[in-house]
């Protein structure tokens, strides 16, 4: 499948073809092709993340009038978390369309969850710039939100939201996440994240993306807090 076939499949035609091509251009490709006319998709990914959060928030607000703020936060986190974004990307075979550098290609980048999630966010960002929020919303209503309505994401675990809720309910203070180390080449990065409570390290986790590392750090922090409560009781 190519980009023209993708657009036909989803019923969308980009006005600016450079935008959709950029959405599917990984930084590893740009690094190896200095004279390439394409930019990488990292800025589009940043924008798409924000657009997606807003669209999902509005969908939940309008669709579930009885749902509490806390439950909407949990559901939104489950919909926009990395495993869910990977599902959306795989639904349209996004991995087959990405321009990759040789190193990323050789290490299985087309199937790497963090890369697929980033490409989906970049596509949403490009689509927003090309046709506006309503067009993105229509796309999500057609292909993504029906899966939410079927309860497909209700079971996904979001440790960051669980940790935030626990800390708030128990008035423990402020949480802060920070990336303390990045290792490996650009096409095979590993991130180590710490979550801090009142400036003290509560948990540490590592992953192939910053989001994954933060989730694992939050999981460790939850385990630590729960263990402390069990000992006291």
Could you tell me whether strands 200-207 and 190-197 are parallel, antiparallel, or unpaired per DSSP bridges?
Answer: antiparallel
**144 and 164 share a domain?**
no
Q: What tokens does 225 get?
A: 């807090």
Instruction: Provide the pLDDT for residue 156.
Output: 59
Instruction: Provide the pLDDT for residue 184.
Output: 84
**10 and 83 share a domain?**
yes
What range does the domain containing 101 cover?
3-149
**134 and 192 share a domain?**
no
Domain end (from 149, 183, 210) = 149
| Dihedral class, residue 179 (left if φ above 0, else alpha if ψ from -120 to 50, else beta) | beta
Question: Cβ of 191: how many Cβ atoms within 10 Å?
Answer: 23
E strand intervals along 34-153: none
Instruction: Provide the pLDDT for residue 16.
Output: 96
Q: Is 49 a catalytic residue?
A: yes
**192 and 77 share a domain?**
no
**25 and 81 share a domain?**
yes
Whose structure tokens read 């199937």?
Answer: 111
Among 49, 104, 130, 158, the active-site one is 49
- pLDDT tens for the chain, 233 residues long, are 899 999 999 999 999 999 999 999 999 999 888 777 889 999 999 999 999 999 999 999 998 888 778 778 888 988 998 888 999 999 999 999 999 988 888 888 888 888 999 999 999 999 999 999 999 999 999 999 998 877 777 655 578 888 888 888 888 999 999 999 998 877 778 899 999 999 899 999 998 788 888 988 998 998 888 888 767 65
**61 and 107 share a domain?**
yes
**8 and 117 share a domain?**
yes
Instruction: Provide the pLDDT for residue 149.
Output: 77
In a domain, residue 72? The reply is yes
Instruction: Provide the pLDDT for residue 68.
Output: 79
In a domain, residue 154? The reply is no
Q: Is 176 a catalytic residue?
A: no
CATH of the domain at 118: 1.10.1520.10
Among 104, 118, 121, 130, the active-site one is 121
Domain end (from 129, 149, 169) = 149
**121 and 170 share a domain?**
no
Domain end (from 101, 127, 149) = 149
**137 and 168 share a domain?**
no
Q: What tokens does 54 get?
A: 């807003």
Count of the separate structural domains present in the chain: 2
d(CA 58, CA 74): 14
Instruction: Provide the pLDDT for residue 109.
Output: 81
């Amino acid at each position: 499948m190519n980009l023209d076939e993708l657009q036909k499949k989803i019923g969308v035609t980009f006005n600016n073809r450079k935008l959709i091509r950029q959405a599917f251009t990984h930084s590893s490709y740009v690094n190896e092709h200095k004279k390439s006319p394409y930019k990488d998709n990292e800025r589009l990914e940043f924008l798409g993340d924000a657009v997606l959060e807003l669209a999902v928030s509005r969908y939940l607000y309008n669709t579930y009038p009885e749902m509490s703020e806390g439950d909407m936060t949990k559901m939104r986190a489950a919909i926009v978390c990395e495993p869910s974004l990977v599902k959306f990307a795989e639904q349209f075979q996004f991995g087959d369309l990405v321009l990759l550098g040789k190193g990323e290609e050789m290490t299985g980048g087309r199937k790497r969850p963090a890369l697929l999630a980033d490409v989906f966010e970049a596509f949403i960002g490009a689509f927003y710039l090309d046709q506006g929020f309503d067009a993105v919303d229509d796309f999500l209503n057609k292909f993504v939100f029906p899966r939410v309505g079927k309860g497909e994401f209700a079971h996904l675990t979001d440790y960051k939201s669980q940790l935030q809720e626990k800390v708030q309910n128990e008035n423990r203070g402020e949480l802060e996440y920070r990336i303390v180390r990045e290792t490996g080449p650009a096409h095979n990065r590993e991130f180590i994240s710490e979550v801090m409570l009142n400036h003290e390290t509560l948990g540490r986790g590592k992953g192939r993306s910053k989001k994954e590392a933060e989730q694992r750090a939050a999981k460790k922090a939850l385990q630590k807090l729960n263990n402390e409560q069990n000992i006291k009781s």
